[in-house]
Chain A
Amino acid sequence: MKLKTVLLAAVAATALAGAARADVLIGTAGPTSNAEALFGTTWQNGMDLAVRQANAAGGVQGQKLQLVREDDGGDPKQGTLIAQKQCDNKEMLAVVANFNSGVTIPSSDVYNRCGLPQVTNASNPKVTKAGYKNLFRPIANDLAQGAAPAEYALEKLHAKTAAVVHDKQAFGQGVAEVFRDTFTKGGGKVTSFSGVAQTDVDFSALLTTIRSENPDVIYFGGVMPAVGLFVKQAREFGLKGTFFGADSAFTPDFIQGAGAASAGAIVSFQAPPYDSSDALKTFAADYKKAFGEEPGPYSAYGYVEASIIIEAMKKAPLPLTREGIVAEIAKSDFESVVGHVAFQPNGELKQPFIFLYQVKDNGFSLVK
């Protein structure tokens, strides 16, 4: 009996000592090696910045944080393997994963099974359908993303016709369908709804067809660099309609890539531009100092997603546990650099932020 107590105490002491010594690990998985490598890497850099700042401020409840980055290559199979690896790592208390909806859906099964708090950047509405309590999405989903520009086109621009193009990927097609449905419901006419391949760079054939339809509005559901090329070629072909794009067009690359053609284009994004508030200006400056380059389109989101976890860790009871952090994330209620963060019971934001920007004088200006 006595021996048992001693043993238990020893085990408890080692465990405590271990907890005090070891860093608290936060995991992340996103594409850092394929066509989306830029998004994935700059997104993870944003998290890295949040972790570094938290450590500089003394860590969380006396413990240092460490970000463990993984590359899922945008591949669902690798996503589940990494999820399991992170689950098995007992020191890992939360993850920011994944970047793609197609990876998040299967990986969330794995994360759910081990109760690891998961904050995702995937915008497909289906992601939260499983009703997992440990899954949170602090960004607007595709429904909001596609609807806002359609409403704007109908109400503000009084557009009657629209040509809709998408890249046949989960995100691009998702938002394009929402745009089409919202636009049609509002009385507009969609002249054509076409898919292109994600890797396409030449849209001349499609644009020649669209030119003959002469639409008021052209909506492109897809990601950079395709969206930049599309706008550029559209203008070269003399298309006059107002161009609308989805979030990933919200980058300086878009304006540079499309050149003068981008002027007047309207882009929807979940975050305000990096120069729109003091908090974001500071963020962009810090980012540049840390990584030597401008932040990518999702850097601010990576930063916010990691911050959500860090904020929750600050409040969670010691010793930190996965369950404790899940409970605290669910109670999140703070002002992040992009907007107010508070979750519904299904893990979606209470008030998803979506902004529309217009390209003016080589910069983005807020229109809505």
Chain B
Amino acid sequence: MSAKKPWCTRVTSDAKTTHIPWLGAAVLLLLPVAVLILGQFLPTYPLRVLDMILLYAILGLGLNIVVGYAGLLDLGFVAFYAIGAYSWALLASGQFDIHLPFWLVLIIGAGLAGIAGILLGIPVLRLRGDYLAIVTLGFGEIIRVLMNNLDGLTNGPQGIARIDEAHLFGWTLSTPLDFLYLLVGLLIIAFLFVWRIEGSALGTALSAVREDQDAARGCGIDTTRVKLVAFCTSAMIGGAGGVVFAAMQRFVSPESFTFWESLVIVLVIVVGGLGNPFGAILGATLLILIPEMLRAWADYRLLLYGIALVLIILSRPRGLLPRAYGPSWLMRRLGGGR
């Protein structure tokens, strides 16, 4: 948003062009197709790594709404991810002998995470800046400790094993390739969703909140409501990611939902580029791939990982793909418009 725009004008989407940018759309479509074709030829281990990358890209897209667009630092994102994962673990396993279909739990998991996002949001969103970050951090830890302690519900530290295989309309999801299809599909949905938000009135309101909250309020934007919506949608994407994670692992336990996971997802979007959906994808690729590629270094692996992180951030403090170079930019470049 350039500073030259007069205050409080109704800003419409940057992406809105009068003609459909065919070339841009084609390039955007080519990416997932390329990934799927690649998936046919990859051995299983790289496929699994690819699945993880896509999963973290989805989580990154979700967190990006709150951190990248609304400018609120959420250090407890893993809580929503955990809620989603435990939804599948509890509603499709022998734990309570409930066996719901996958698509339904995907909705339930996302819904529960969204509700948790609102419940967390109502009291804390009036906090500002880093205090909000700390409260979300505390929330993440509270959820994890609850999962670890509510033995009757979650089996505590033992975790829930032998979770059902996921079925989606008669198609059994069991191999990493099956999950690749699912994850590519979900990533496309999340990507389009986030991109739509970016260009919508909500997106404008979010960036107004990020740039100057008081001015935004002065323009009649209900900042609390806008932040709540951001929190809720972000949590829903996190919850959906959790459901898929549990379906992939077929085992959940609290050790998968530590504070470190929250930090990794923040790293994904900061390394990739805040507020840029492409950034989340690139960030996830790097943050999953680097530690896997460093395996050959054995003892020095995490040391090198840390050094790599610092170097990347030092060389590109605004991320590898800054905010301005998002999908809308790509469309403009390729669509020839403006």
Judge whether B295 and A76 touch: CB under 8 Å.
Answer: no
Judge whether B158 and A69 touch: CB under 8 Å.
Answer: no
Judge whether A124 and B45 touch: CB under 8 Å.
Answer: no
Partner of A170, one of B43, B253, B298, B299: B253
Interface size on A, residues (CB 8 A): 31
Q: Which chain B residues lie closer than 8 Å to A168 at the CB level?
A: 148-149, 156-157
CA distance A200 to B270 in the complex (A): 32
CA distance A85 to B42 in the complex (A): 12
Question: A residues 278-326 with Cβ under 8 Å of B?
Answer: none
Would you call the interface of chain B mostly helix, strand, loop, or mixed?
Answer: helix
A44-78 to B contact mask, C-beta < 8 Å, 1/0? 00000000000000000000000001110011110
Closest beta carbon of chain B to A142's beta carbon, Å: 10
Known: A76-B255, A84-B45, A88-B44. A130 touches B157 (CB 8 A): no
Closest beta carbon of chain B to A96's beta carbon, Å: 16
Question: B residues 153-180 with Cβ under 8 Å of A?
Answer: 156-159, 161-162, 176
CA distance A102 to B159 in the complex (A): 7
CA distance A174 to B47 in the complex (A): 35
Closest beta carbon of chain A to B245's beta carbon, Å: 8
Judge whether A102 and B253 touch: CB under 8 Å.
Answer: yes
Judge whether A170 and B249 touch: CB under 8 Å.
Answer: no
Judge whether B45 and A174 touch: CB under 8 Å.
Answer: no
Closest beta carbon of chain A to B144's beta carbon, Å: 11
Closest beta carbon of chain A to B281's beta carbon, Å: 19
Closest to B253 in A: A102
* Interchain pairs with CB closer than 8 A, number: 75
Judge whether A87 and B45 touch: CB under 8 Å.
Answer: yes
Q: B88 within 8 Å of A by Cβ?
A: no
Q: A105 within 8 Å of B by Cβ?
A: yes
CA distance A340 to B256 in the complex (A): 36
Q: B214 within 8 Å of A by Cβ?
A: no
Judge whether A84 and B158 touch: CB under 8 Å.
Answer: no
Question: B residues 283-299 with Cβ under 8 Å of A?
Answer: 292, 295, 298-299
Q: B52 within 8 Å of A by Cβ?
A: yes
**In the complex, which of the residues B48, B149, B158, B301 has the most CB atoms of chain A within 10 Å of its own CB atom?**
B158
Q: Which chain A residues lie closer than 8 Å to B48 at the CB level?
A: 80-81, 84
Judge whether A81 and B149 touch: CB under 8 Å.
Answer: no
CA distance A324 to B108 in the complex (A): 45
Partner of B158, one of A77, A81, A87, A170: A170
Judge whether A74 and B255 touch: CB under 8 Å.
Answer: yes
Interface size class of B (residues with CB under 8 A): 20 to 34
Closest beta carbon of chain A to B62's beta carbon, Å: 18
Q: B323 within 8 Å of A by Cβ?
A: no
Closest to B157 in A: A170
CA distance A80 to B45 in the complex (A): 9
Partner of A76, one of B49, B158, B249: B249
Closest beta carbon of chain B to A146's beta carbon, Å: 14
Closest to B255 in A: A102
Q: A182 within 8 Å of B by Cβ?
A: no
Q: Which chain B residues lie closer than 8 Å to A74 at the CB level?
A: 255
Closest to A125 in B: B158
Closest beta carbon of chain A to B99's beta carbon, Å: 18
Q: B250 within 8 Å of A by Cβ?
A: yes
Would you call the interface of chain A mostly helix, strand, loop, or mixed?
Answer: helix
CA distance A85 to B295 in the complex (A): 11
CA distance A34 to B149 in the complex (A): 22
Q: A32 within 8 Å of B by Cβ?
A: yes
Judge whether A75 and B43 touch: CB under 8 Å.
Answer: no
Known: A130-B162, A168-B157, A195-B149. A77 touches B256 (CB 8 A): yes
Judge whether B158 and A174 touch: CB under 8 Å.
Answer: yes
Question: A residues 97-113 with Cβ under 8 Å of B?
Answer: 101-102, 105-106, 109
Q: Which chain A residues lie closer than 8 Å to B251 at the CB level?
A: 76, 102, 105-106, 109
Q: A126 within 8 Å of B by Cβ?
A: yes
Known: A126-B161, A129-B161. A173 touches B45 (CB 8 A): no
A246-264 to B contact mask, C-beta < 8 Å, 1/0? 0000000000000000000
Judge whether A170 and B159 touch: CB under 8 Å.
Answer: yes
Closest beta carbon of chain B to A97's beta carbon, Å: 14
Judge whether A75 and B249 touch: CB under 8 Å.
Answer: no
Closest to B151 in A: A173
Q: Which chain B residues lie closer than 8 Å to A81 at the CB level?
A: 45, 48-49, 52, 292
Question: B residues 242-285 with Cβ under 8 Å of A?
Answer: 245, 249-251, 253, 255-256
Closest beta carbon of chain A to B262's beta carbon, Å: 14
Q: A33 within 8 Å of B by Cβ?
A: yes
Judge whether B255 and A75 touch: CB under 8 Å.
Answer: yes
Closest to A37 in B: B299
CA distance A70 to B292 in the complex (A): 11
Q: A332 within 8 Å of B by Cβ?
A: no
Closest beta carbon of chain B to A263's beta carbon, Å: 31
Q: A169 within 8 Å of B by Cβ?
A: yes
Closest beta carbon of chain B to A48's beta carbon, Å: 12
Q: Which chain B residues lie closer than 8 Å to A85 at the CB level?
A: 45
Q: Which chain A residues lie closer than 8 Å to B301 at the CB level?
A: 33, 71
Q: Which chain A residues lie closer than 8 Å to B295 at the CB level?
A: 70-71
CA distance A205 to B245 in the complex (A): 38
CA distance A195 to B150 in the complex (A): 12
**In the complex, which of the residues B47, B176, B250, B295 has the most CB atoms of chain A within 10 Å of its own CB atom?**
B295
Judge whether A173 and B156 touch: CB under 8 Å.
Answer: yes
Closest to B298 in A: A69
Judge whether B49 and A75 touch: CB under 8 Å.
Answer: no
CA distance A262 to B244 in the complex (A): 47
7 A-B contact pairs sorted by A residue (CB < 8 Å): A33-B301, A75-B255, A80-B249, A102-B251, A105-B159, A126-B161, A170-B158
Q: Which residues of B contact A (CB under 8 A)?
A: 43-45, 47-49, 52, 148-149, 156-159, 161-162, 176, 245, 249-251, 253, 255-256, 292, 295, 298-299, 301-302
Q: Which residues of A contact B (CB under 8 A)?
A: 32-33, 69-71, 74-77, 80-81, 84-85, 87-88, 101-102, 105-106, 109, 124, 126, 129-130, 168-170, 172-174, 195
- Known contacts A81-B45, A87-B44, A173-B157; 8 further A-B pairs (Cβ under 8 A): A71-B301, A76-B249, A76-B255, A88-B44, A124-B158, A126-B158, A170-B157, A173-B156
A-B CB proximity, top 9 nearest: A106-B251, A85-B45, A88-B45, A84-B45, A102-B253, A170-B157, A84-B48, A106-B249, A105-B161
